[in-house]
Structure 1
């Protein structure tokens, strides 16, 4: 039995950096406005403080990435301490992903300038379209995310230059007198810890990074951190220096505590970067051209937010799939469609944020629900690594991570105490997951996993065959009994060795630490390869089963066909719709277009 299950390490820092920026850099699109809304001209000081915390968190995550090169994030780190802690930490991360999707789609349409009366409907439609794209398993979504992240980075750089005239006035408005009392200041600080959102993504990328992982992780984290921290501070100063905000003394959150904020307050609170881009461009180019620049910038930032929502949906699927594979959640969450997408998890990943938005669309409330998941997951990951004596961490690194974890724990506990809605949301989600986990364990009873003497897996796990180089070779890359019988009959007539391969398609973000699909956990693959093995054995045909996990079916079929010197390739005709093939690509067409000379391609209609 040949098994290929290596994780595709094709993520360099040049690719991982924009992906991380798409998560980490997106938070400024709402954090800057919220910071000024809550603290007025004290916001620059708060943004400086959160920048220092982000630097410490980035340092901790370089260590986490080094210790866990196979990825997995908080789930892997916490599981080595306690399985229950892993469930709690991962569920908090799941809460963060759900709220990422919810707040991102809402803010996207705020940036697009959609009337607030239609934002809810538009957001749910956007989530439905995201579900459709992911259902098809479209690879173009990843390229789109990369392009938008690079475009947003370029636009951010342009705004950074244009906003410089407002920086001196913004610096002048900085005042320690604007800070509230220490207790109130601490609570206000916890509200903008949302700026840390996205850093956990890098811990889940390490299983895909080029080796050495520690070097790739550092090259990924530090440049993105520099851009996020420096630009957040610059934009925060410039925002405070805008003529419309420079004279603000009392935070608008306090001023409108019992009343709905007016449109001009909602504009900077919910779309700070759009306001800053428009005002900055108007200063240089005039009001009309500044308006156009602001609109173009807003569209790019809106697309970046939709991309972030798509990433959050994909990440939610990955978390649910990983937990279900470990039997912590129902097995149905591991069911994959023809594109290798866990479709039940996909439905959960889009329905959950849609339900949140039906209940609440206000950005301030959504941010409250968001921050508890972000801080909870980062705190769990950091403290788990600090407490794990088996990890290769120096004494001073362990002390530093422990202090950082303690600080983040204080932040999380403050949110729990001061934000009852956030506590209720996170508590309900954690309680639901733990309840389902407990119910599954009760229903399963004692686990007995004896491997039967007969069965598909036993047929597949035969002793490796010594290949006869003088015999012709046939590759079967189709499923179903009819296909197996045809291939075996052809091999028997030609005196050939039959190879049969089963490719389990997995997208990059579906891969988690120690969660690469195995033949032992893949009943569909067992049935497909086992059927061919049993048929070949009965006919006396030499047989070699191959199980592959990969992100590209066509490339794997071509690679193994050529590697083993097969002169015939048998494939089934696709039963997918034309639209599905347009989204995900037609495997048969790609293989036929690139198959080397001398290899005969046979296509047959049955493919089960």
Structure 2
């Protein structure tokens, strides 16, 4: 969510600052896709309450061998979720504290080390610590959306001058490419279906309700941020994130700006934490199918078996979306 709209904006920026006015259609399309995914995963949760998500569905419908493709994709997705979330979190911190701009890899790796230490104490402990961050993030983004929509003009600005090089015109293909890039906003939606066993009883009902709530909140934030980006023609900049620019436009550059960016960074750490929570469940299912060593069969690892997902995070500003 925190990096999806920016990924779409980077694509549209190829057509110049004026192309930012076309941000809303790709975000609306992503929101519609999100609705379809939520409905699909609600059914997956009901049919496969043991978790596993795409792997469990593929195994039942297409066989164990074909299901390995889904499992491999999920494993890669979890690693990339941790890497990209932490890298984007570092960029959010640097938006509030520019001195960190030259140390983004170190900041991201520090976050990874902290998450690893927290998860080594057990999944329940880490979930209890990180869950409130989700609420703070949602409230912060909703405040940006509501106050930004209520104010006709930005109340603040951050970042250096935009460096937008116009390389092509705004056409259907560019908008479609922006939609594809913006789909990164829905990454992690499958984590709930994959991690049903981690919920408290009644697990199925709780997980399905959580899936719907997640979809609604994401859709509202996507459409709201897309509207603000289109209205204010927010252009990606080298030293601040798009979300940081929108925060300054809506809340100014005082303490709410710093608090929001810090909240975003912490929430992205929580997003990376979904890999630590859901990957062990998938690995346990693979082990029970004799696709991994038997030591991975514990679906709810404790202090001594909690795994760490290691990936080298790179700055999202240097990524090719």
TM-score bracket for this pair, using the shorter chain length: 0.7 to 0.9
Q: 1:228 to 1:168 in 2, by over 3 A?
A: farther
Contact 2:51–2:282 (CA under 8 A) maintained in structure 1: no
Bigger relative contact order (CA 8 A; separation at least 6): 2
Q: CA deviation at 1:314?
A: 3.0
Confirm or deny that 1:342 pairs with 2:302.
no
Question: Counterparts of 1:314 and 1:193 in 2: how far apart (Å)?
Answer: 23
Q: Deviations over 1:15-71 (max 9, x none)?
A: xxxxxxxxxxxx2x1111222221232221110111111111212222222222332
Which among 27, 30, 54 is matched to residue 50 of structure 1?
30
Q: CA deviation at 1:102?
A: 0.5
Confirm or deny that 1:312 pairs with 2:275.
yes
Q: 1:338 to 1:302 in 2, by over 3 A?
A: closer
Q: CA deviation at 1:311?
A: 2.2
Give the structure-1-normalised TM-score: 0.44
Confirm or deny that 1:93 pairs with 2:60.
no
Question: Counterparts of 1:338 and 1:71 in 2: how far apart (Å)?
Answer: 15
Contact 1:317–1:342 (CA under 8 A) maintained in structure 2: no
Q: 1:131 to 1:83 in 2, by over 3 A?
A: same
What's the counterpart of residue 44 of structure 2? Answer: 64
Contact 1:179–1:185 (CA under 8 A) maintained in structure 2: no
What's the counterpart of residue 5 of structure 2? Answer: 32
Question: Counterparts of 1:329 and 1:211 in 2: how far apart (Å)?
Answer: 29
Contact 1:148–1:300 (CA under 8 A) maintained in structure 2: yes
Q: CA deviation at 1:136?
A: 2.6
After TM superposition, what 4+ stretches of structure 1 lie above 6 angstroms from structure 2?
335-338
What's the counterpart of residue 262 of structure 2? Answer: 299
Describe the SS at the equivalent of 1:198.
Answer: coil
Confirm or deny that 1:222 pairs with 2:212.
yes
Describe the SS at the equivalent of 2:3.
Answer: helix
What's the counterpart of residue 319 of structure 2? Answer: 365
Q: CA deviation at 1:335?
A: 8.3
Question: Counterparts of 1:53 and 1:338 in 2: how far apart (Å)?
Answer: 33
Contact 2:147–2:251 (CA under 8 A) maintained in structure 1: yes
Question: Counterparts of 2:216 and 2:169 in 1: how far apart (Å)?
Answer: 26
Contact 2:280–2:299 (CA under 8 A) maintained in structure 1: no
Confirm or deny that 1:198 pairs with 2:179.
no
Question: Counterparts of 2:88 and 2:286 in 1: how far apart (Å)?
Answer: 30
Question: Counterparts of 2:171 and 2:244 in 1: how far apart (Å)?
Answer: 31
Q: 1:364 to 1:60 in 2, by over 3 A?
A: farther
User: How many residues matched?
Assistant: 295
Specify which structure has the higher proportion of strand: 1
Q: 1:329 to 1:138 in 2, by over 3 A?
A: closer
What's the counterpart of residue 273 of structure 1? Answer: 243
Confirm or deny that 1:106 pairs with 2:87.
yes
Say which one has the larger Rg.
1
Q: 1:140 to 1:337 in 2, by over 3 A?
A: closer
Q: Deviations over 1:213-232 (max 9, x none)?
A: 3x544432333222211221
Q: CA deviation at 1:79?
A: 1.0
Q: Deviations over 1:548-599 (max 9, x none)?
A: xxxxxxxxxxxxxxxxxxxxxxxxxxxxxxxxxxxxxxxxxxxxxxxxxxxx
Structure 2: gaps (5+ residues)? 13-19, 155-167
Q: CA deviation at 1:323?
A: 2.0
Question: Counterparts of 1:338 and 1:183 in 2: how far apart (Å)?
Answer: 46
Q: CA deviation at 1:340?
A: 4.8
Describe the SS at the equivalent of 2:302.
Answer: coil
Farther off after superposition, 45-54 or 59-68 = 59-68
Structure 1: gaps (5+ residues)? 1-26, 170-177, 249-263, 283-289, 369-608
Confirm or deny that 1:124 pairs with 2:109.
yes
Confirm or deny that 1:142 pairs with 2:127.
yes
Q: 1:89 to 1:144 in 2, by over 3 A?
A: same
Contact 1:62–1:218 (CA under 8 A) maintained in structure 2: yes
Q: CA deviation at 1:280?
A: 1.0
Give matches, 1:163-562, under 5 Å: 163-165=148-150, 180-207=170-197, 208=199, 210-211=201-202, 213=204, 215-242=205-232, 245=233, 265-267=237-239, 271-282=241-252, 290-331=253-294, 333=296, 339-343=302-306, 346-347=307-308, 349-350=309-310, 353-354=311-312, 357=313, 360-363=314-317, 365=319, 368=321
Describe the SS at the equivalent of 1:241.
Answer: helix
